[in-house]
Homo-oligomer: A and B are copies of this chain.
Amino acid sequence: MFVTYSMEAVLTRKEQIEKTATALFKRKGYTATSMRDLANALGIEAASIYSHIRSKEEILQRVCFKMADEFFDALDAAESMAGPATVRLQRAIAAHVQVLTQNTEASAVFLHEWRHLSEPLHSNFLALRDKYEARFREIIREGIQRGEFSVPDEKFAVLTILSALNWIHTWYKPEGKMTPTEIAENLSEMLLNGLRN
């Protein structure tokens, strides 16, 4: 059914639609992207999209929850090895950065467009996000207990760390001078040891 001789991954039509939609959602936002915009980017009519998806929100839902899965999977892998909190935090940061840089468009949707999900998806999503942040809080808490870290409030620390990381998708380009690994290392260095010489 699918025959290709290029190196590119073979996408089903539905995946193509999702990918194109994700790019538009990042550039213009979910609400400001019309189905006619999406159709135009795909080179077809708006009505034709409904042969492949049920609704506009279905696209948003799939992108948001797929990315949530990716962040959790990466974090699971990062936390699979034991070690001091400092190292675990470095690994968690590196995992987060890897997912962010691997797909900046889906990341942007994941970070900013989820709020247009209707209930109960909206609540489900927020619950997942909180679970994810809790994993980071747990690392920070352990680091404080073991005397590795010195922060006034672990929730505050986690929000600051994640917000420092979550800006990457706005400027990262694969052809840039820093690789995702280098970005993660620099961020870990800044967040753990600070700017100070």
B195→A156 contact, CB < 8 A: no
A157 proximity list for chain B (CB < 8 A)? 190, 195
A150→B32 contact, CB < 8 A: no
Q: Is A123 an interface residue (CB 8 A)?
A: no
The number of chain A residues with a CB under 8 A from chain B is 40
Instruction: For the complex formed, measure the closest distance between the CB of A122 and the CB atoms of chain B, giving whole angstroms.
Output: 12
Q: How many identical subunits does the complex contain?
A: 2
A194 proximity list for chain B (CB < 8 A)? 190-194, 196
Chain B's closest residue to A28 (CB) is B115
Cα distance, A166 to B29, chains bound together (Å) = 19
User: Given A115-B29, A190-B157, A190-B191: A197 and B149 within 8 A (CB)?
Assistant: yes
Chain B's closest residue to A190 (CB) is B160
Cα distance, A192 to B166, chains bound together (Å) = 19
Cα distance, A164 to B194, chains bound together (Å) = 13
Cα distance, A178 to B159, chains bound together (Å) = 14
Cα distance, A148 to B194, chains bound together (Å) = 11
One digit per residue, 1 when the CB lies within 8 angstroms of any chain B CB and 0 when it does not, for chain A 148-165 equals: 111111001101111110
